[in-house]
Structure 1
Amino acid sequence: MATIESSILEEVSQFQQLQLALRDRWQSIEGSEDSDVDILVIPSLSIDQREMAKVEGCEHYEERLLFALIRLWNPRNRLIYVTSVPLHPSIIDYYLQLLPGIPFSHARNRLLLLSTYDASLKPLSQKILERPRLLNRIRQALRLDKSFMVCYNSTFLESELSVRLGVPLYAADPNLQIWGTKSGSRQIFAESGVPHPDGSERVWNATDLAEATAELWERQPSLQRCVVKLNEGISGEGNALFDFRPISQYAPSKATHEQRVAVIGDRFATMRFQASQETWANFSGRIPELGAIVEAFVEGEIKYSPSVQGRITPLGEVEILSTHDQILGGPDGQIYLGCRFPADESYRLQLQQMGLQVGRKLAEKGALERFGVDFITVKNADGKWDIQAIEINLRKGGTTHPFMTLKLLTNGRYDLSTGLFYSQQGRAKYYIATDNLQKDRYRGLLPNDLMDIIAHHRLHFDTGTETGTVFHLMGCLSQFGKLGLTSIGDSPQQAEDIYNKVVKVLDEETSNKAHDFSWFSNNTFPMNWDGFSC
């Protein structure tokens, strides 16, 4: 046992020593014009695989980090991208053709694509570690003194991979991932003075969950609903909504605490689960493994779900990168579908300030690289916004790839004073993005079919005007009828028009199929930019 513990401590020390090298390589990592680095992209979704399986087409989500290929615009940078199964060649060609001023062949020669040829339901990082020859090939292809590794999220699989390869990982130490869980987020909010809903600490069984729910109701007798969350659920798929109104006869003034706990425990099976196939039997079985929390559901007639994204550099600096208004769906609007950039101007600067408070507290804990904070905003009768933080993501989330695509394509800058993003030409940029444009009629479209449609209808991103659509998750299209895209414009309306044109064209091109459904009615987004009225 002592030998095993010693080995683990030695590996942790090696990982931390490797991360110290990021400070010296920061200028190259940042992407300066003199950048000369090897970037190892490991897009492993190293999260609970049963939770991940709730996301349709999750096996193709390794494609979401393909925006990193745009880093090849610098003629000295080299990039290795590893996936579970090989990527379709036309998908790679699509991204490389986005590079302004770089010959396609030159960029392609600096890109190495590798695959484990393993479609099983386990994290990519684990698959790589199980293949010593593949590990060796990656190591031999890298200039170790000029390399760094990026990932979707950081776990002990990624830290072991970092040590085995001798390449520093630009991500938070896995020991700090607790701060990206539901319970850890609540602790950070409390310590940083950021408003957040009343709720519980993490519990490990259904009995304690019922106890915590009853205590929450007793603290807030007028509470109508609460949210029960698996501690490590993703994209809202691990959430369930519990309604107190059908059991009002057990309210704090009308029944004993024991009666309240008992009836709440009995009614957990009737909760509204946000994942379509979820059941209480499965949900409750995950609590001893993942833990769970309960927190007050924020009610409101005019209510939105914005987020702020930031990063902590290897130098310990905290930077705000962007704000978004998230587009949510599911039974109770808790499933992430897409986003608009930037967030509404009436609260985006407040989001930035709260994001800085959270980021500084995370930096104190030793966190590194990206973080995102999700909020609920409710407009009060006086016209002011009540802003409540609900969770932290210590990973690359659904808002990461749209913003990084915009930044890398335009080489522009984010302005903290306005919360807007400006291209090098000084034009403010806006976009609508989604991972979830999904219709039955799109099933059977191959990546090459999509390329034909893009070319024929001129749906591509125009590097001259810096407007248009960038597509992703193209591997999901044929089997699941699912596609991701980021529609970029010089105004909110232009971005929306570009998005709607894409949907209209795809619908027309697949009109021979009878069954049709859309993730938004009428193929449009339900909010206008000014005031978000329907």
Structure 2
Amino acid sequence: MASASANWIVSDESRFCQLQTQLTTCWQPINCFDREPRQILVVPSLSLDQEELRKVEGVHHYEERLLFSLLHLRNPNTSLIYVTSQPLHPSIVDYYLELLPGIPSSHAENRLRLFSTYDGSQRPLTEKVLNRPRLIERIRHCLSPQEAYMVCFNSTDWEKQLALTLNIPLMAVSPTLLELGTKAGSREIFAACDVPHPEGSSLTYCVKDLAIATAQLWERQPHLKRIVIKLNEGFSGEGNALLMLDELATVAPGKVHHEKRVSSVLDAFKHMRFQYMNETWGHFSRKIEELGAIAEAFIEGDIKRSPSVQGHITPFGDVEILSTHDQILGGPDGQIFLGCRFPADEAYRMELQTIGRRVGEVLAQRGALERYSVDFIAVQTKQRYWELNAIEINLRKGGTTHPFMALQLLTNGNYNLEDGQFYTPQGQPKFYRASDNLQKDQYRGLLPNDLMDIIMVEQLHFNSIAGTGAAFHLMGCLSEYGKLGLTCIGNTPEEAEQIYEQVVTALDRETS
């Protein structure tokens, strides 16, 4: 039986690899307008550790973030299928279709099919779909296998199995390569391509071993003030905790033996500064044993930023740089992703592109596919030079994906590698400020239609003539959680910030 099972797995993997070769003919770049018919199945499942995802309020509405994939419907020969856990509010779908430039919304709507599992449970969307064979059949009837491919938020064995079931390729990294995008895997890639990154430990699944590794890191760098403990598969910084070394001054390197230091670190783990406000040591320690964790030197600095670079690996193995951002971080110690500004500061923008391409080429050599991003810490020296340290790689769509897709959707422009800026066809540079976390208790109870009323009255919607204004996402999250996502586009960074503040002021005024 064991041999038969192994043969089935090999056969399954072989069939998946064969399907993936079809991507070279059916995959469609975002700005492609050829006459070849294509079908794109979007399954925006957050197939991550569900306990970690619970730390993000309204996370089940994050399936809406990929609605900017409707951008593909600008091509009249493309059809799109979008699957969600719960049905989308009709006004949300109408909103995105109306944003499509150069094509009637009714024309695009005729090429859009929406499916729902009608299941609001915490399980990943893809797992829900696989448990509904009749839904799979309805999706299958909408597909022509030689013209279709599937996209997702992140790739796991669930997504691979759905692609096999539907007999279409998956435009995403193979689940066999997911380790490359973990905290430990990121450090291995950075070392392989000689990218500066903080000193840290290897991956461990044992709390005692983690304490030993943490003590050893401190001994190698006795000047450290803080050490970050990171769950290997944490999401948006919510899986991080800070160990404050000033509280362990009596066991600092040189004062006591190694064993005493390890014992003190082990005890101090219980009192770390968790970045998720409701985290406990009991739960965090269990996740260490389940997901693994690393210890990493915390980079200090009086003037510090958190930029990132986004790239794309095509089915042909080509590496493309898509964008750079300065991330907006919050939480107790600035570890949690709240939003971003585009583009990143010109002082380090081009260096981000260079490092991003280097990382992308190593990922491509190892078989990675589709989107990836690299997060950094930038510290300004006394000489006003910015030192970059790479922090982690994300092999999935992230918080900077959908704002940039919104910019492409609304302006029909392109990213320029020569200066790292985005230009409209008329040569106008564009900038934005975006967030997934505009959240206030007073916004609770607002329906998507209420939001539309407020924005139209205040004239804060995106103006296609001026090419400025706000585009919204996570609208389904608003009523229950008072949480909203938005991308504010301006002709200058200052204008983008001003539009963002105008939206906040309008919502505050209307809900006060």
One-letter amino acid of the structure 2 residue matched with residue 4 of structure 1: S
Distance 1:420 1:61, change over 3 A: same
Distance across 2 between alignment mates of 1:426 and 1:276: 45
Specify every segment of 5 or more residues in structure 2 that has no aligned partner in the other structure, as ranges.
Answer: none
One-letter amino acid of the structure 1 residue matched with residue 167 of structure 2: G
Distance across 2 between alignment mates of 1:282 and 1:26: 42
Identity across the alignment (%): 61
CA contact (8 A) 1:239 1:274 kept: yes
Deviates further, 405-414 or 172-181: 405-414
What's the offset of the Cα at 1:33? 4.4
The corresponding residue for 1:487 is 488
CA contact (8 A) 2:27 2:149 kept: no
CA contact (8 A) 1:326 1:338 kept: yes
Distance across 1 between alignment mates of 2:379 and 2:72: 39
The corresponding residue for 2:7 is 6
RMSD over aligned Cα, in angstroms? 1.0
In structure 2, the residue corresponding to 1:55 is in which secondary structure? coil
Pairing 1:356-367 to 2, within 5 Å after superposition: 356-367=357-368
CA contact (8 A) 2:26 2:146 kept: no
In structure 2, the residue corresponding to 1:246 is in which secondary structure? helix
Distance across 2 between alignment mates of 1:376 and 1:270: 25
In structure 2, the residue corresponding to 1:144 is in which secondary structure? coil
The corresponding residue for 1:316 is 317
1:41 and 2:46 equivalent? Answer: no
What's the offset of the Cα at 1:28? 6.0
What's the offset of the Cα at 1:264? 0.3
What's the offset of the Cα at 1:289? 1.0
In structure 1, the residue corresponding to 2:141 is in which secondary structure? helix
The corresponding residue for 1:130 is 131
CA contact (8 A) 2:28 2:38 kept: no
Distance across 2 between alignment mates of 1:192 and 1:340: 27
The corresponding residue for 1:226 is 227
Distance across 2 between alignment mates of 1:174 and 1:488: 35
Pairing 1:203-218 to 2, within 5 Å after superposition: 203-218=204-219
The corresponding residue for 1:93 is 94
The corresponding residue for 1:284 is 285
The corresponding residue for 1:498 is 499
Task: State the 4+ residue runs in structure 1 displaced beyond 4 angstroms.
Answer: 27-30
The corresponding residue for 2:189 is 188
Distance across 2 between alignment mates of 1:391 and 1:264: 25
Distance across 2 between alignment mates of 1:360 and 1:471: 34
Deviates further, 81-90 or 70-79: 70-79
Distance across 2 between alignment mates of 1:409 and 1:145: 30
In structure 1, the residue corresponding to 2:150 is in which secondary structure? strand
Deviates further, 412-421 or 320-329: 412-421
Deviates further, 318-327 or 24-33: 24-33
Distance across 1 between alignment mates of 2:316 and 2:105: 35
What's the offset of the Cα at 1:29? 6.4
CA contact (8 A) 1:27 1:35 kept: no
1:140 and 2:146 equivalent? Answer: no
What's the offset of the Cα at 1:410? 2.0
Distance across 1 between alignment mates of 2:235 and 2:436: 14
CA contact (8 A) 2:99 2:409 kept: no
One-letter amino acid of the structure 1 residue matched with residue 48 of structure 2: I
Distance across 2 between alignment mates of 1:9 and 1:424: 49
What's the offset of the Cα at 1:26? 3.7
One-letter amino acid of the structure 2 residue matched with residue 65 of structure 1: L
Distance across 1 between alignment mates of 2:163 and 2:139: 11
One-letter amino acid of the structure 2 residue matched with residue 490 of structure 1: N
Pairing 1:265-276 to 2, within 5 Å after superposition: 265-276=266-277
Distance across 2 between alignment mates of 1:440 and 1:128: 33
What's the offset of the Cα at 1:108? 1.1
CA contact (8 A) 1:204 1:292 kept: yes
Distance across 2 between alignment mates of 1:410 and 1:501: 21
Q: 1:210-264 CA distances to partner (integer Å, 9 max, x unpaired)? A: 0000000010011110100000001000000001111111111111000000000
The corresponding residue for 2:294 is 293
Distance across 1 between alignment mates of 2:252 and 2:469: 54
In structure 2, the residue corresponding to 1:268 is in which secondary structure? helix
What's the offset of the Cα at 1:386? 1.1
What's the offset of the Cα at 1:27? 5.0
In structure 1, the residue corresponding to 2:146 is in which secondary structure? helix
Distance across 2 between alignment mates of 1:463 and 1:13: 47
In structure 1, the residue corresponding to 2:106 is in which secondary structure? helix
One-letter amino acid of the structure 2 residue matched with residue 426 of structure 1: G
Distance across 2 between alignment mates of 1:335 and 1:27: 33
The corresponding residue for 1:521 is none
State the TM-score, normalized to the length of structure 1: 0.94
Pairing 1:242-391 to 2, within 5 Å after superposition: 242-391=243-392
CA contact (8 A) 2:307 2:326 kept: yes
The corresponding residue for 2:405 is 404
CA contact (8 A) 1:29 1:37 kept: no
The corresponding residue for 1:524 is none
Distance across 1 between alignment mates of 2:55 and 2:29: 38
Distance across 2 between alignment mates of 1:82 and 1:2: 37
What's the offset of the Cα at 1:71? 1.6
Distance across 1 between alignment mates of 2:454 and 2:71: 22
Distance 1:440 1:482, change over 3 A: same
Distance across 1 between alignment mates of 2:239 and 2:37: 41
The corresponding residue for 1:235 is 236
Distance 1:385 1:35, change over 3 A: farther
In structure 2, the residue corresponding to 1:255 is in which secondary structure? coil
The corresponding residue for 1:200 is 201
Specify every segment of 5 or more residues in structure 1 that has no aligned partner in the other structure, as ranges.
Answer: 512-534
In structure 2, the residue corresponding to 1:44 is in which secondary structure? coil
Q: 1:293-312 CA distances to partner (integer Å, 9 max, x unpaired)? A: 00000000000000000011
What's the offset of the Cα at 1:314? 0.6
The corresponding residue for 1:438 is 439
The corresponding residue for 2:462 is 461
One-letter amino acid of the structure 1 residue matched with residue 102 of structure 2: G
CA contact (8 A) 1:73 1:107 kept: yes
Distance across 2 between alignment mates of 1:490 and 1:455: 21
Distance across 2 between alignment mates of 1:463 and 1:8: 51
Aligned residues: 511
The corresponding residue for 2:452 is 451
What's the offset of the Cα at 1:165? 0.3
In structure 2, the residue corresponding to 1:141 is in which secondary structure? coil
Distance across 1 between alignment mates of 2:402 and 2:30: 17
State the TM-score, normalized to the length of structure 2: 0.98
What's the offset of the Cα at 1:36? 2.6
1:62 and 2:63 equivalent? Answer: yes
What's the offset of the Cα at 1:20? 0.7
Distance 1:481 1:29, change over 3 A: closer
What's the offset of the Cα at 1:163? 0.5
